[in-house]
């Protein structure tokens, strides 16, 4: 009789152990990170690349085909409006035709010795005051009518970024929108800016991904420092829209089932609860949630580690940060 009782007791304990072990296994405790859902002000933006340049630059053009007799200026010189920049000799039609036909070297000496009486001396002057930032001719060089011979900048501190924006992104960009400007050459700083102008025409360019259609956009640089220089490459993140009081779920917290129904795992006590959600807009920080979550709900940041009803040990990751 005692053996029977002992056997029954042992059997009962074994069955109970299996049940308890199975229950624990099915409800294994998982350590998870959670984020708190709070209303945010979020931004939509477009990021594009371009090049830094001076704002106020005036090119000086050759009034006619000519030979440069003497250049009076060099890069870095300060000039006043009307100041002589260079002297040119406009040759006779005969010499000009010969030069254009490719006989420049042989005819330059002939021009110098025999045709100066037929040439007209002209002086190219500065159209405005400023600093010479480029000189593209030298003494005794030949220039075509309309060629740029020099560039004058009247404000060396004023900078802007000339951007190339893909046609698929241009519709959201408007004059007056704010921008954040960054670049490799000034990687320790960023600058604010404003969209100043949008070209009325598009153009075809060749990029690393092939040919694309782009529109030029000019963004000003607010209070540029000494680390940002004309000619540097730059990126501008243009803020195209801003929304307030938006509930955001980070992208990594949202999943979809085979039918496309979206869901998150919400923390309910010590359990992960599968919760259907409806998303709307996409922002830099995540999906906008318009149904399924409320302010201060906590959702699991690593949802692939849990299933519905899983016991969890939550570690707060924080709240979703604003795009500001």
Residue 96: which CATH number? 2.40.50.100
Range of the domain at 249: 28-42+244-319
What is the number of domains present in the chain?
A: 3
HEC per residue, the chain? CHHHHHHHHHHHHHHHHHHHHHHHHHCCCEEEEEEECCEEEEEEEEEEEEEEEECCEEEEECCCCEEEEEECCCCCCEECCCCEEEEEEECCHHHHHHHHCCCHHHHHHHHHHHCHHHCEEEEEECCCCEEEEEECCCCCCEECCCCEEEEEECCCCCEEEEEEEECCCHHHCCCCCEEEEECHHHCCCCEEEEEEEEEEEEEEEEECCEEEEEEEEEEECCCCCCCCCCCCEEEEEEEEEEEEEEEEECHHHCEECCCCCEEEEEEECCEEEEEECEEEEEECCEEEEEECCCCCCEEECCHHHCCCCCEEEEEEEEECCCCC
For residue 281, the domain's CATH number is 2.40.420.20
Is the residue at 20 inside a domain? no
Residue 19 lies in a domain: no
Tell me the pTM.
0.56
CATH number at residue 233: 2.40.30.170
Final residue before a domain boundary, out of 195, 214, 243: 243
Q: Same structural domain for residues 173 and 119?
A: no
Domain C-terminal end among 103, 133, 153: 153
Q: Which among 153, 173, 196 is the end of a domain?
A: 153
Indicate whether 200 and 143 sit together in one domain.
no
Do 221 and 281 belong to one domain?
A: no
pLDDT per residue rounded down to tens, the chain (324 residues): 444 434 344 444 455 554 444 444 445 788 999 999 888 888 888 999 999 998 887 889 999 999 999 999 999 899 998 999 999 998 865 555 545 555 555 545 554 554 555 678 999 999 888 889 899 999 999 999 989 999 998 877 889 999 999 999 999 999 999 999 999 998 888 999 999 999 999 998 887 778 889 999 999 999 998 899 999 999 999 999 888 889 999 999 999 999 999 999 999 999 999 999 999 988 878 899 999 999 999 999 999 989 999 999 988 765 665 555
One domain, residues 225 and 258: no
């Amino acid at each position: 009789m005692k053996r029977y009782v002992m056997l029954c007791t042992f059997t009962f304990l074994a069955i109970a152990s299996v049940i308890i072990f199975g229950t624990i296994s099915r409800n294994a405790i998982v350590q998870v990170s959670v984020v708190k859902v709070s209303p945010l002000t979020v931004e939509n933006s477009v990021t594009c690349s371009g090049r830094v340049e001076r704002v106020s630059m005036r090119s000086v053009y050759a009034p006619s085909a000519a030979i440069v007799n003497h250049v009076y200026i060099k890069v870095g010189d300060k000039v006043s409006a009307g100041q002589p920049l260079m002297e040119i000799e406009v040759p006779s039609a005969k010499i000009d035709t010969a030069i254009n036909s490719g006989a420049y070297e042989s005819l330059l000496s002939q021009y110098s010795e025999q045709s100066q009486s037929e040439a007209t001396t002209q002086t190219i002057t500065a159209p405005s005051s400023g600093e010479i930032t480029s000189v593209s001719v030298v003494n005794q060089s030949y220039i075509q009518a309309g060629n740029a011979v020099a560039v004058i900048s009247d404000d060396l501190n004023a900078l802007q970024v000339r951007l190339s924006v893909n046609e698929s992104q241009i519709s959201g960009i408007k004059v007056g929108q704010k921008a954040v400007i960054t670049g490799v050459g000034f990687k320790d700083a960023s600058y604010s800016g404003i969209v100043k102008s949008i070209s009325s025409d598009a153009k075809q360019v060749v990029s690393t991904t092939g040919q694309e259609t782009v529109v030029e956009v000019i963004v000003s640089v607010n209070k540029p420092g000494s680390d940002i220089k004309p000619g540097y490459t730059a990126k501008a993140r243009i803020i195209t829209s801003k929304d307030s009081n938006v509930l955001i779920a980070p992208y990594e917290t949202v999943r979809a089932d085979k039918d496309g129904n979206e869901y998150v795992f919400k923390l309910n006590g010590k359990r992960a609860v599968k919760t259907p959600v409806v998303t709307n807009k996409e922002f830099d920080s995540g999906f906008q949630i318009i149904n399924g979550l409320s302010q201060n709900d906590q959702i699991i940041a690593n949802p692939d580690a849990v299933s519905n009803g899983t016991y969890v040990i939550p570690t707060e990751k924080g709240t979703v940060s604003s795009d500001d």
